Structures are given as structure tokens and as C-alpha cells.
Structure 1
């Protein structure tokens, strides 16, 4: 990795800019910054204030961490991509500058629309330059690489090509004026995938043509599934990077596209040789990094492989050996076989879905649970996962493998997926029993389902990285220490971080938002309390309806 995104410290720079250069108050900024768990969406203009107010200690902490991160990244020869002004501003700026061209963004997932300053307004360049000057003075900008996403899941106010080109030209002009010649603006191409009806070829070309040649680099963010380089003929000769999203929302579950990834990279390399040579690298842009390590191993190995890896059977065998053994050791055949089964199962996804199959354990209870872009039906034979788990579990007790951290992790990971798949089958039995008005069968299916939920909680709890308590503890420890006891975090700040940590992995947004469970986790403590209790209440309520001979009112239960 040589081009990491470096967004830490952004709020510190904005605090300096808006309070010292544009006379806004800390209170007014409190209505702008989101809580810490939601800052990535705040940076992209999707939301303001949600999960806030952002504590002053967090802002100072981000400044300190950014210095540490950049120092180490630069020591390794990396070129960090720093934040820049994308036009999103605090609501209070409208009162401070009543003649400024400030508008509401198109809105995102039911959250309150954010405010943006038109790039054609002279105030845009003033704010953009002030931000970059303070950023560069504090952290250095020698790499001259910046990130600013104007339209991440937001629709531009106009599809006029002249407007789009002028907007991106204005953004780049600010970057170049402060950072100098050779400045590169890095843009996420997710918008092209998310809103294809808006981003037609003329609009894409206009957006790309605002900066000078070579001034913009597009991340083909989901290229392993929805490659935007194809309809854009290699991004119309502008530099682009084949990027991947192996995880959405941090959701738990085994998921990957080994074959599709290799085919996609091969196709991109082949096309690049004939349509402009504008492919500049490979990358990963996951929303979490705790899942599916096999996918990252395969991806980054392709940097050194041309053409891409062709024999995945051999490669997976080598992967198992690397994962479980040291030099000179022999990997057990059962471990290799287990991973070959997983390659043919959860790591062979070809259909359209974002992330793993939705776990019914984590779903809001219903006859037909809904998970947005993650279907709940399996695209593979669940016996493949069950057999892989069995193979790893039946290794002899004297095998050196059973003491390996990677082995213990994988036994838990694969086991949780196997149990999740069993829960899916028991839920289907419950639905059938309800349709047949068979109370005895429904209760039996419910007992089995809840027993699986409990077993999943027990298994997940064997891993420190799968514990709700650790998640909450880590969040609370981010708080500043109280003056009376340096080891004890200040209570209000620690409580806010705990609320953020819990909110992210449960409701995410407000109660009736479609974002609920977007970031669910199959973790010990969360499964056994929150998920178990929801399903227990649901099975009891449905059984009571069956017993009384009335229809179950699902909408009433949900409310």
C-alpha cells in the first residue's frame, strides 16, 4: 500500500478555519460536525450533526493522531491522500454570509439535507484556500494528493455539462493554487455506480474534464463487481485505479469473489493495453477490514502478477499453507480441503449483492427479513461451510495447527457462518409451520432457532475481537481522562462515545430508517442479548397469535 487515505485531523483544521477566518462559533460548529462514528459520511456531505456533538478532545486527538500517522506513512515512502474542501459548510455560514450561494444537497437516506456552497461563488475559493493553507502548514502537503467527494450518493443540482465541468475546474483550481503544479485530486467513483441514470457519458466526461490532463484520478471503487472503466472506455483516458470493496458496513459473514476478482483484473489489464494505458494501480476501499483476509491476499498479490492468478485451486492451497504454517512446516490436507470448499462456497459469489448474505440472527424479526442490498438466501450450498468447519475441528489434538491464532480465529469465523446458515433453515421451517397453522411445529422451529442463536453467541465470545464489551470499552477509553483520576475517562464524553458505538452497529440512524442493521455484527454479547431477545419476543408473539387463532400483526409488532 503506497497511497493511503489520511482524513484524521480534518475537524481540527475546520475548527481553525471557521472560527478564526470566518468568525463562526464553536457552538455553530457543533451543529455541523457529526459524532465520531459517523464522520466518514459527514466528510462526504451525507449528514451533519448525527451522533454529535463532537467533543473538543476528539478534535485535538485527531490532530495528534494525524501527525503520528503521516510521520510513519512518509517513513515508509507512502503518499498520503489528504482532505480538501468539497463545498459542504455549516448551516450557520448562511447567516454569516447571507449573499453567498448556499443550497441544500439532494439528501441522503432520509437524513436532514446538508448545506453546500456553490463552486462558482467567490467564497468557495476563499474557504477552500483557507482550509488548504492551514492543513498544509500543520501537516505538510508535499505529496500534493487530495480527496474531495462532491456527489457521494448525492445528485448534482444540474446535469448540464458546462455546469459540471466548471464545478470540478473550480475545485481543482483551489487545490492547485495552494499546493502547486502537479496536484492530484483523487475522487471516489462510487457515484457512477450508485446513480447511473444521472451519470451518463456526457456528464462523466464533463466532470473529468474540469481539471487539466492528469490532474484527477478516479477510483473505480467497486470494480470487481461493477466496473465503471468499461462504459467509460478506461475513464476516458484519465488516470484511474482498479479498486475493490470487500466489506460493507463491517457486517459479519464469509463473503468474497475470488474468481470474479481475478477475471476483472485480467480484463482491466488487457483493455488497458489497448485503450489508453490509464490504469494506474490496484486498491481496496473496504468499509471495515476485520473480515475475509483471503480476499486482500489475492488482491495485492496481483500487483506482482501479469496476467492475474489463473489457477485458484493451487493458489488457495498455498494460501492455507501461508496462513497456518511456518517455514518448513507442512499444512494438514484437511485444512487445505476446508479452504477449497470455502472457495467453492461463500468465496464464489457471482450475483449482485453488497457484502455477505444477510444473517437472520441479526435481522429485525419478520417472516421475510429485509437487509437492503444483502439478500438472505444463500448463493452456495451450506454444506460446504459445514464440512469446512468439520474438517478444521477434526484435526488431531497433537497437530501444531490448533495453537495457531489464525486457526483458532478461522474455526470461530467459519463456525459462526455455519450456525448462521442453520438459523436460516430453522427460520424457513417456522415460516412454513405458521402458514400451515401448526403451532407445535412452529414452537419447535423457534426453540431450535433460539438455541442456534445462543450457540452462535457462545462461539463468537471465544474471540476477543468478537466481543461487544470490548467494542464499548474501546469506545469509552477514547474519552479524555478526568483531572481527578488520569485513568478514568470523563463520564459525559465516554457516554457519547458509547452511544455512537452502539448506534452504529444497531439502528445506525433513526428508528424507522432503512439503515438499521447496515453495520450489524455477530459478536458475543450482542447476539446473546439484543438479537436473542428480539427473536424470542417475535417467536412468543407469533405463537400467541397462532394459539388464539388470529393473524399475526407484523406491522404492530415492529412498531
Structure 2
């Protein structure tokens, strides 16, 4: 984000009562200064290579990877440092205490020769973890704080550091586990005697086979209780911290989404009441994208202010506030629609929304239906719930009324909500169509395959058209923002490729995180997901006509070639719209009329 967007974002955070924002912007310069002069073989260019591409800084900070999709340019490092100083300064003006990254023990490969390090793996990426008994560990922690003081006019004594967020730690004995925690804190304390270490309890459940009760106690016991704050990352679905009984202060955090994936989803009932009864000292939002579902984040903010919330009264009030002054009939329809959504998509006991098959990587073997990603998606609905059809109809009617008489804010809100419901329904029907096409292929029924495949592809085309009407869902904006940071043609191309990669391949073409983000955006559907599924339809259709099975190895190779080419030389900034086109209500009504009569 540039400064105008950051300025608006900080105002939004302040208005919602956020007082401890984590600020990563500008951290590249902190890392560069901290490592400067440590080794003749590690100059500023070497640190920029360690940082990798701009989109991956959070994962470098957590020790997940290093040097991926880079290197960063010095211009990028300098401009981000200037922006970070401005962001941190404004946050302080608004009464916030910014949380800054601390040193968690991960170093460039060039230091592996002069320091004691061990290689740590994360989903196929490797990094070098410094031995906590090496004097350089605490020294680097102190250097981080010193650099933050120089760049950002001091610190606010809060430092976030996760030495092994999702990796298996190289420490084996309890003493080694404790030494890691002690070294992280000691580096912070040397730089700032008033330091408080903020860290996540996520590793304790993500790598639960490693993190035995004894190891958790050794880790937590190595740091004073009054100098730590634990973030219980996924409290609404998989709470862990309260059960530890550590005596350390902790925050009840709502994770809500992985990768910014689309789909109306959330546990309204849990968020409304669980934090107040949890024993946490505060609340946090730890989402991977905070624009996914406005109702969840507004509720969380109100719970932070008010404690437990009665949804029966809160939700109608939120609906009235969201749409503003509308006529009585429209207001009733909106409240009814949201009541139906509350009882369906916002009451599901699942780790995420139903993940649309159209956003998964096509496969040409097995049952031909791509598997959900990890454990972060709900199972596919056997049929679209009647409540969703009714909610869609009610929202469409309300949108038509608001278009002629409603305030601007209401038109913006109803368009977003209508698009989200339509996306969920058409995506679900697309799941069914793809499964029918797969079954028809396996049965050798060419006509049935063609009909189901055509219905599936039509759904993707329809969603591309629908989402093009929404400013929130434009790939063109994402690419234009990335390119705006480049000072040369080569930089702009690199930043665009970086922005395309993290949305799609994420890592290498054969990596474990392919299609991790899976964002249903206009431009991304039309230029990436739809061409991939057309390849699938063409490959299977050709195999049926030829009377031979499709070659899954050849198909996968062709798909990987397409994926890589799209990332490196796909749509560039300026080639896709940055402003919405078309009327959301009109498109949604057209889709309702056509899809409601189809099999569900």
C-alpha cells in the first residue's frame, strides 16, 4: 500500500479501537542495517538477496524461507523504510503502540560459515537457524532494536518474533528448546530493557507431534510472564493457549481466512461470545486478508469494545448501519436476508468456506476432482441451501430498490454483498458441474461430459463478468499497485511477476503451496483459472473422442508450463481494468434467473 491507502487504513483501525497494530512495512531496512558489517561476504546486496521478492517479506520474517523470487532492490528497501517511518509515526499520533518485528534467529546463508547454524525446512523451502547459544544471536536481536530506533524514531517496546512458526525446530532437549526462547527475548532486552515479546501459539498445534507438553513448558518458562504476550492465532476454530495454563497474558485472535480466499464464512456466534469467557486479556485479528467479510470484522471490533454481544439484536442493528436510510420494505428484506446468511454460511462448523473447485488446480487422474487445500475448506454442499437462494433473491430486490433511492454507501454495500452471495452459489453449482463432467468422462459418456463441462466453464465466465463490476475484486488493481513501486521497466516487471506468483504458484511450479491464495477476482478468473480448466475440458474431450485415456503426466506438464508462463509474463499492469464496469445488481439478477433453473 502507498501512503494514501495507509493513511485511510490507520484511520479505520483507530476508529475500530485497534491499539497494537503490527507494522512490517520498512522492515527490509531494519534487516539490512542489522546484518551490515557482520561478515565481509555479506554486503547490502547480499542482504537484499536474502530478503527476496517484496511479497514474501512476512515469510522471511517468520523464518519460513529466504531469497525467494528476489532480490529486492535498494530503491525498494529505501522507499519502504520511508513509508514505514510515516506509518509508525501516524499510528503513534493516533494513540496506538506499533508492534515491530523482532529477531527470531534466522540468518543469511553467508553467515552459516562463521556462526553455528542448522538448516530448517518449511514446505520445501530451507533457511538457516542460528544456534541460540551463539553470542551472535543476542547481538542480532539488539541490532534489530537499534536499527528500529534509528529508522522509526524509537520503538514502543513490543516485538513480534516466531522462531519456528510452522517448521520443526532443530532443538531436541528441553534445555535446547528453552535456550531458543531465552535467546530471542535476551536480544530484545539488550536493545530495550522494557521489551515485551509477542509471539504466536500456532506452532504448538501446527507441529503438535513435536510440541509435547514438556517442550511447551520449557519454551514458555524461559521468559518472564510479564514480558510476553501470546497470540492464540485461531481461537474461533482451534483454541490452544487457554489450555496451556501458562499464566502468561494472551489475546483471543480471529484468523478467519487463509490466503484471502473468497467466500462468505465465519462463526458469528463464537466470535460474539467466546472472547469474553476465554480469560484472554484482549482480542486480536490475525487474518491473512482483512477484506474478506465485513460482518466478521465489525463484530470483532464491537466485542472488543463491549464484551459479549447478543447477535439477535446486534445483527439487525449492523444491517441497518451498513445500508443506511432505506425504505421500510427494503430494510426488512435486508434483515431477513442476513438472518438467513447467519443461519447458514455464518453458522457452519468448518475451518473455512466451501472452496470452489474452479480455483483448484485441475487434475487428470484418479476421480478427476481436485482435493481441497489442507484443512482450511469446508466440504462441498450436496446442494445449494434454499436459504442462500432466498437470500440472493432478497438482496437482488433490495439492490434494485437502493439503486434508485438509496444512499451511495448503501449501493456500495449491497453490491458487495450481492456479489458475494452470487459467487458462493454459482461456485457451488460449478463444483457440481465439474464433478458431473468427471463422472461422465470416467463412464465414457461423451455427450454428458460435454454438457456438464460447458455448464462448468459457463459458471466461471459468469463469475468473471459479475466480479468485474466490483472494485474489491479486480486483478488489475493488484497489478497496478505492484507496478507503481517500480522505478524502471525491469523493476515493474519483477514486481508484477512477484504479485502474480503469490496469488497463484506461490512457490515453485511443483511446490506444496500451488494455488494457496485462490482468490476469486475478475482478471484472475478470466486469464488464469478459466484457461486452465479449458485445457482440462479439451484434454478429456479429446481423449473421449479418440477412445483412449488422457495422459495425466502430459496434462500436468502442460499445465505447469502454462502456470509458469502466466506468472512470468502474464497480464501486466495497464492491460486489465482498474475500475469496475457494469452494474452488479443487473448482472446478479441475470445470473439468478439463469442459474436458479439449473440442477443444484
TM-score, reference length from structure 2:
0.84
- Tell me by how many angstroms 1:422 deviates: 1.4
3-state SS of the aligned residue for 1:395?
Answer: helix
Matched-pair contact (CA < 8 Å) for 1:249–1:519: yes
Aligned counterparts, 1:70-219, within 5 A: 70-95=88-113, 97=114, 100-105=115-120, 107-111=121-125, 113-180=126-193, 182-219=194-231
CA distance in 1 between partners of 2:541 and 2:165 (Å): 45
Matched-pair contact (CA < 8 Å) for 1:345–1:381: no
- Tell me by how many angstroms 1:327 deviates: 9.8
Matched-pair contact (CA < 8 Å) for 1:345–1:380: no
- Tell me by how many angstroms 1:398 deviates: 4.3
- Tell me by how many angstroms 1:20 deviates: 3.8
Matched-pair contact (CA < 8 Å) for 1:460–1:523: yes
Equivalent residue for 1:54?
72
For the pair 1:63 / 2:75, whether they are aligned, the reply is: no
CA distance in 2 between partners of 1:522 and 1:8 (Å): 26
- Tell me by how many angstroms 1:252 deviates: 1.6
CA distance in 1 between partners of 2:265 and 2:316 (Å): 18
Equivalent residue for 2:36?
19
- Tell me by how many angstroms 1:387 deviates: 2.3
CA distance in 1 between partners of 2:254 and 2:442 (Å): 42
CA distance in 2 between partners of 1:422 and 1:314 (Å): 33
CA distance in 2 between partners of 1:159 and 1:21 (Å): 29
Equivalent residue for 1:519?
517
Aligned counterparts, 1:312-391, within 5 A: 312-326=311-325, 332-351=331-350, 353=351, 355-366=352-363, 367-373=368-374, 374-375=376-377, 377-378=379-380, 382-383=384-385, 384-391=387-394
For the pair 1:34 / 2:52, whether they are aligned, the reply is: yes
Map Cα deviations across residues 298-348 of structure 1 (whole Å, 9 max, x no partner).
Answer: 112112334x224x2332222211111149988621111111121122211
- CA 1:328 to 1:210, structure 2 compared with 1: closer, same or farther past 3 Å? farther
CA distance in 2 between partners of 1:504 and 1:396 (Å): 34
Give 1 or 2: higher helix fraction: 2
For the pair 1:261 / 2:286, whether they are aligned, the reply is: no
Equivalent residue for 1:476?
483
Matched-pair contact (CA < 8 Å) for 1:346–1:380: no
Aligned counterparts, 1:439-478, within 5 A: 439-478=446-485
Of 2, 16, 20, the residue aligned with 1:3 is 20
- CA 1:174 to 1:454, structure 2 compared with 1: closer, same or farther past 3 Å? same
- Tell me by how many angstroms 1:259 deviates: 2.0
CA distance in 2 between partners of 1:66 and 1:48 (Å): 21
Map Cα deviations across residues 350-401 of structure 1 (whole Å, 9 max, x no partner).
Answer: 13x3x32221111112322123224463358623333212211123744334
3-state SS of the aligned residue for 2:159?
Answer: strand
- Tell me by how many angstroms 1:520 deviates: 1.6
CA distance in 2 between partners of 1:328 and 1:74 (Å): 42
Matched-pair contact (CA < 8 Å) for 1:102–1:116: yes
Q: For structure 1, list consecutive stretches of 5 or more residues without a partner in the other structure.
A: 273-278, 481-489
CA distance in 2 between partners of 1:70 and 1:491 (Å): 30
3-state SS of the aligned residue for 2:371?
Answer: coil
TM-score, reference length from structure 1:
0.90
Equivalent residue for 2:544?
546
Matched-pair contact (CA < 8 Å) for 1:245–1:285: yes
> Bigger CA drift: 170-179 or 389-398?
389-398
Equivalent residue for 1:421?
428
Q: For structure 2, list consecutive stretches of 5 or more residues without a partner in the other structure.
A: 1-17, 558-600
Matched-pair contact (CA < 8 Å) for 1:320–1:331: no
- Tell me by how many angstroms 1:473 deviates: 1.2
Question: Which 4+ stretches in 1 moved above 4 angstroms?
Answer: 326-331
Matched-pair contact (CA < 8 Å) for 2:476–2:523: yes
Matched-pair contact (CA < 8 Å) for 1:324–1:331: no
Aligned counterparts, 1:234-245, within 5 A: 236-245=246-255
Equivalent residue for 1:506?
504
CA distance in 2 between partners of 1:262 and 1:159 (Å): 40
CA distance in 1 between partners of 2:521 and 2:72 (Å): 27
CA RMSD of aligned residues (A): 2.0
Equivalent residue for 1:483?
none
Aligned residues: 529
